[in-house]
Every structure is written in C-alpha cells, then in structure tokens.
Amino acid sequence: MADFYGHLPRGPAGIMRAAIWSLQGLRAAWLHESSFRLEVCLFVVLGPLGWFLGETGVERALLIGSCLLVMAMELMNSSMEAVIERYGAERHELAGRAKDMGSAAVFVLMMNVLLVWALILAPRYL
C-alpha cells in the first residue's frame, strides 16, 4: 500500500497511515490467530520478568527481544497462511511446504527464546 504514494517522503500523515495499518494487522492477528493470542499472553508474563531478571540493558534487550521476535515471526507466518488460503483450500504440496516452513520458523525462534533465557539466567541461578 505504501508504494501507492510514490517515492516521496511520507511525512507525518504517511507515518500515521502506516501506524494505522500496523494496528489493523495486530488487531486482525489478535482476532483470528489463537497462536498469536497465546504468544501475547506469554509476553505479558515474560516481558516484565525479563525486565526484572536482566541485570544490564543488553540482557534485558535479549530476554525481551527474543520474545518479540517470536510474535513478529508469528505475524509473518499468519500473513503467509492467509495468502495461501486466499487462493483456495485444496491441498497443494507447495502450499503445505510453505505453511510448514513458516511454522518451523516460529519454532526456531521459540528455541531461541529458551536458549537466550537459559544462557543468561542459568549461570546466575543454578
């Protein structure tokens, strides 16, 4: 949608439009994607926990940022699935592969959360 306005600087109005589109995307994900809702609920717990358990700004950024990456990838995965479903519900090998790879990307970032949290917190508390 942004290309519709050409290559001119967006200015405050363009930034506002982009923010509105982003909020619409977050709302759609919340309403239609149970995985995204679950990840948001986990972030509501892990975000503040990461803030308090991190001793430095870098640790806090890693603990909280790793969780944010999972939600961002979930948004990308959900958007890809929506495009695939737009073209029909019939089973196609490439569509299935794309959906599986999107799910795998979310899984890899969830493993990243475990790794980051373990590497930062395990030496301190074990």
* Binding residue ranges: 27-30, 33, 60, 74, 81, 90-92, 99-100, 103
Q: Count the Cβ atoms, other than its own, within 10 Å of residue 41.
A: 10
List the binding residues for a divalent metal cation.
33, 81
Binding site members for substrate? 27-30, 60, 74, 103
Catalytic residue of the set 55, 59, 74, 85: 74
In the annotated binding site for ATP, the residues are 33, 81, 90-92, 99-100
74 is catalytic: yes
C-alpha 100/C-alpha 122 separation (Å) is: 32
What secondary structure does DSSP assign to 1-70, as a single string? -GGGGTTS--HHHHHHHHHHHHHHHHHHHHHH-HHHHHHHHHHHHHHHHHHHH-SSHHHHHHHHHHHHHH
Q: Which residues are catalytic?
A: 74
